[in-house]
Amino acid sequence: MRQESILRAIYDQASRANPYPLFAELRRTPVCWQEDGPDEGGTWVVSTYREIVSLLHDPRLSSDLRHCTQPGVDARALEPMPFIRLDPPEHDRLRALTMRHFGPPERPAFIEQLRPQIESITTSIVDGLVGERVFDVVTRVAYALPVRVICAILGVPLEDHPRFRVWVDALIQAFSKLTPEARAQRDQAGHALRDYLADLVRHHREQPGDDLLSRMATDTGPGAPMDDPQLASTAMLLLIAGHETTVNLIANGVLTLVRHPQWLERLRREPQLVVGTVEELLRYEPPVQLIPSRTALEDIAVAGATIPRGALVSLALAAGSRDPARFEDPDRFDPERSNNAHLGFGSGIHYCFGAPLARVEAQIALGQLARGLDRPRVVTDPPPYRPSPVLRGPRELIVEVDGVRPRDRLQS
Amino acid sequence: MTVVGDEPYLPYDRPPLSKTVLAGRVPVDHTPLPRFRTLESVEWVLGVAAAELELARNQVVLADGRAIAFDRLLIATGTRARPWHDAEQARLDGVFTLRGRDDAEKLRRSLEARPRRVLVIGAGFTGSEVASVCRELGLPVTVVERSAAPLVGALGRTIAGRAAELQREHGVDLRCEVQVEALEGDAQGRLRRARLSDGSTVEAEVAVVALGAIRNIEWLGDSCLAVGPFGVACDAGCRAIDVNFVVTDDLFVAGDIARFPHPLYRQQFLSLEHWGNAVEQGAIAAHNMVCPPTRRRPHLAVPEFWSSQFGVNIKSVGVPSAADEVMIVQGSLEEGRFVAAYGRDGRIVAAVSFDRGRWIEFYARLIEQGAEFPLEMATGEGRPLGPAVPAGFPDAAVVREHATAILTGHDPDTRRVKLVPRRPRESPCAKRAS
């Protein structure tokens, strides 16, 4: 019988609570072929910090799976593809057309200006917990906050959430090994979500608001607007990436802080510590563990191995961020770590588009929870995890508290 | 530790001075560098220049006559802006140079008064960034550059051609291969116009003299170190080299004033005026000043710099001017977004990006590894790499040394180098270069 590969073990649900020993095992061979990867064809896995950074900046590595010639790889995707799955120059064009409404240089203050709104959404969420002794942090906070924020930013009606949640859940499964039925289900969900967003874009064009989809649909700047199918595809990317990652950052954050009560206590007393706490979480428990689908456009020699042209490449960000060659005592959670250039948001041209938003959301959520929750305990540790090994985080995180302090009393 | 500086300010960040500060988007007093607790016991002697290095007594004499003794000394006096050659014209109201925060603040105020036209003399990085800010503020600006395009010295003529287009696309009145001959004022001593070498005149109320930098070496005149217009020579460990080209033990050099050998560039001595080099070399010098001699580290960073102008982010790694050929490897000159790789003798020596900065790290690694040039690789862009073409760097400038090295003495005990000041007669070489 063929021995199961390390990557297969990482993809196995049983490893979800603590995949880090397996990532350490991967690092022993910085660049290695894993027979039994996310798809039947296997994949090259890169797991050390330096090699990951170097490949994230290597123009010979493509984000466009259509270049992959490896047998067994499912390169089919809903077209047109969003910029996360494209290479320059198309990637750069679409990302710039989107960034124009989200950040610098054109809208440098946008995320900072959202801070009061995110604070008040968070306050209403935490205040909603007052009086309860046992609740699920994932549903009530970690998921609720980013969904409400991304809906507000994009101009997606919050009341549509039950509809799009079903589709998004099916799509997220796509990161795990899939049966043909699951794959068909995923494709169906993709079409449904895209059609829904295309309708929404048309609606926003007719009655524009100040939201991002309205701005993109009515943009008259150079090269704008994107055509409608591409806009719907971009909207889908922003909607999914805008909450399915942050939910894990916040949930992993609460879990990690409860496991390290001395840091939770310090965070309660020293609010400014939240910045380093979120950075360390991005290193220590990254919400995106792997970049699973890059393709070598030619033979690439790296760390003594040669990744052949056309092969599938996975970059194990979670392994790189715990590489002892880069981070001292990497398995220690230390919010005061200096020089913490983690891979939590990736690097290079695909560096997380929403990073500044994720940071602000996690800082506000963890800051308010640290001050609002009285003696939080995790009821089941480890908690049950969501199925995806890529977007990794608890499915639910039941926390027991002595009480929840409402925000207005905190400020007095 | 004692830190001596001729400016009255604690250390601050210079790059914003020609960008966000000048544009009025960041107040000049927001530029100080963060200070860490470990710096609390440092004595800062600010607003006083170092006037002389007395090696025989291991002390630095300050402009106010004070003497500060040392066990170890770091020479980091950097550069100053090259002033307009005619002192009387330079004194006209409206004529500026840009180096320190006071300069930036004065120039910013004069731009705020909305002059009818700004003249920028010299289209290096400082001049180009000033012109960019002027356009951002909606001010008419004329840039006069004596070479064929802006940034030619840094990027070579081929890539600098794109910098020229960029200026013109943004409404700059760019005049290349022309020099400003004289600045003229009115009866009140206010700048009115400039006379150019092509016989034309430019009416302007503000002129920014951006003709490069001069290294602050005068105070080292009698120190017996290997000092020249390109700075103070040192080894890769930042130890100063004396006039006999013997390495010293307790004197270190870092930043704009350092002239250091780099093994990637045929062991030639480089003088770099980049923020990144000052940071990296400063760290190496600090380490080597306090570590045991066997633990000294070499300064081997691949040089890097960046600029932002006319909405474009320009990044460079390596030493472009060491190249004779250049090729476009990503993007295209036509789109204005690209990466250019520079090579010489079959090796890549530098890369420059326009709005493609996130790739530059890859090329830094290629330079470190001495990768072959022209590059051959497949990218996702679906087009072949551009051909290698002449990079178009001007011939190395013949800089007139202020002194001539001569040998004295006859036996090993007395054999020494002596620097003798140059006689005022101009050599034919120097004339051609000027």
Q: Do A62 and B377 touch (CB under 8 A)?
A: no
Residue B91 has pLDDT above 70, yes or no: yes
Nearest to A57 among B311, B335, B359 (CB): B359
Q: Do B362 and A58 touch (CB under 8 A)?
A: yes
Q: Do B359 and A348 touch (CB under 8 A)?
A: yes
Residue B402 has pLDDT above 80, yes or no: no
Q: Do A57 and B361 touch (CB under 8 A)?
A: yes
Q: Which pLDDT score is estimated for B146? A: 95
CA distance linking residue B364 with residue B370, whole number of Å:
10
- What are the backbone angles phi and psi of residue B214, rounded to the nearest 5°? -115, 135
The residues in A 330-359 lying below 8 A from B, measured between CB atoms, are 347-349, 351
The alpha-carbon gap from B69 to the nearest alpha carbon of chain A, in Å, equals 35
Binning pLDDT at 50, 70 and 90, where does residue A395 land?
Answer: very high
Q: Do A58 and B311 touch (CB under 8 A)?
A: no
Q: Which residues of chain B have a CB within 8 Å of the CB of A348?
A: 358-359, 361
Summarised one tens digit per residue, pLDDT across range B1-25 is: 999 999 999 999 999 999 999 999 9
Range name among A280-294, B27-41, B62-76 with the lowest pLDDT average? B27-41
Residue B352 has pLDDT above 50, yes or no: yes
Q: Do A89 and B361 touch (CB under 8 A)?
A: no
Averaged pLDDT for residues A80-88 = 95
Q: Which pLDDT score is estimated for B190? A: 97
Binning pLDDT at 50, 70 and 90, where does residue B428 land?
Answer: very low
The residues in A 61-100 lying below 8 A from B, measured between CB atoms, are 62-64, 67, 87-89, 92
The alpha-carbon gap from B361 to the nearest alpha carbon of chain A, in Å, equals 6
Q: How far is CA B395 from CA A195, B139, B327, in A?
A: 61, 35, 20
Nearest CA in chain A to B313: A105
Residue A177 has pLDDT above 80, yes or no: no
Binning pLDDT at 50, 70 and 90, where does residue B430 land?
Answer: very low
Q: Do B377 and A298 touch (CB under 8 A)?
A: yes
Q: Which residues of chain A have a CB within 8 Å of the CB of B330?
A: 59, 88
Q: Is the ipTM of this complex over 0.95?
A: no
Q: pLDDT higher for B216 or B394?
A: B216
Binning pLDDT at 50, 70 and 90, where does residue B396 land?
Answer: low
Q: Which residues of chain B have a CB within 8 Å of the CB of A53?
A: 361
**Beta-carbon contacts below 8 Å between A and B:** 55
Q: Do A348 and B337 touch (CB under 8 A)?
A: no
Q: How far is CA B171 from CA B141, B145, B196, B310, in A?
A: 8, 16, 20, 10
3-state secondary structure chain B: CEEEECCCCCCECCHHHHCCCCCCCCCHHHCECCCCHHHCCCEEEECCCEEEEEHHHCEEEECCCCEEECCCEEECCCEEECCCCCHHHHCCECEECCCCHHHHHHHHHHHHCCCCCEEEECCCHHHHHHHHHHHHCCCCEEEEECCCCCCHHHHHHHHHHHHHHHHHHCCCEEEECCCEEEEEECCCCEEEEEEECCCCEEECCEEEECCCEEECCHHHCCCCECEECCEEEECCCCEEEECCCCEEEEEEECHHHEEEEEHHHCCEEECCCCHHHHHHHHHHHHHHHHCCHHHCCCCCCCCEEEEEECCEEEEEEECHHHCCEEEEEEEECCCCEEEEEEEECCEEEEEEEECCHHHHHHHHHHHHCCCECCCCCCCCCCCCCCCCEECCCCCCCCCCCCEEEEEECCCCCCCEEEEEECCCCCCHHHHHHC
Averaged pLDDT for residues A174-197 = 84
3-state secondary structure chain A: CCCCCHHHHHHCHHHCCCCHHHHHHHHCCCEEEECCCCCCCCEEEECCHHHHHHHHCCCCEECCHHHCCCCCCCCCCCCCCCHHHCCCCHHHHHHHHHHCCCCCCCCCCHHHHHHHHHHHHHHHHHHCCCCCCEEEHHHHHHHHHHHHHHHHHHCCCHHHHHHHHHHHHHHHHHHCCCCHHHHHHHHHHHHHHHHHHHHHHHHHHHCCCCCHHHHHHCCCCCCCCCCHHHHHHHHHHHHHHHHHCHHHHHHHHHHHHHHCHHHHHHHHHCCCHHHHHHHHHHHHCCCECCEEEEEECCCEEECCEEECCCCEEEECHHHHCCCCCCCCCCCCCCCCCCCCCCCCCCCHHHCCCCHHHHHHHHHHHHHHHHHHEECCEECCCCCCECCCCCECCECCCEEECCEECCHHHHHC
Summarised one tens digit per residue, pLDDT across range A295-311 is: 999 999 999 999 999 99
As a whole number, the mean pLDDT across chain A is 93
Q: Which residues of chain B have a CB within 8 Å of the CB of A351?
A: 358
Q: Do B379 and A59 touch (CB under 8 A)?
A: yes
Summarised one tens digit per residue, pLDDT across range B177-191 is: 999 999 999 999 999
Summarised one tens digit per residue, pLDDT across range B106-155 is: 999 999 999 999 999 999 999 999 999 999 999 999 999 999 999 999 99
Q: Which pLDDT score is estimated for B358? A: 94
Nearest to B335 among A58, A89, A297 (CB): A89
Rg (CA), chain A: 21
The percentage of residues in chain A with a pLDDT greater than 90, rounded to a whole number, is 84
Q: Which of B19, B304, B354, B358 to mutate to test the interface with A (most CBs of A within 10 A)?
A: B358
Q: Which residues of chain A have a CB within 8 Å of the CB of B365?
A: 54, 57
Q: Which residues of chain A have a CB within 8 Å of the CB of B337?
A: 89, 92
Averaged pLDDT for residues A67-82 = 84
Does residue A255 contact residue A247 with C-beta atoms inside 8 Å? no
Q: Do B380 and A298 touch (CB under 8 A)?
A: no
How is residue B146 written in tokens?
């004596």
pTM of the predicted protein model: 0.90
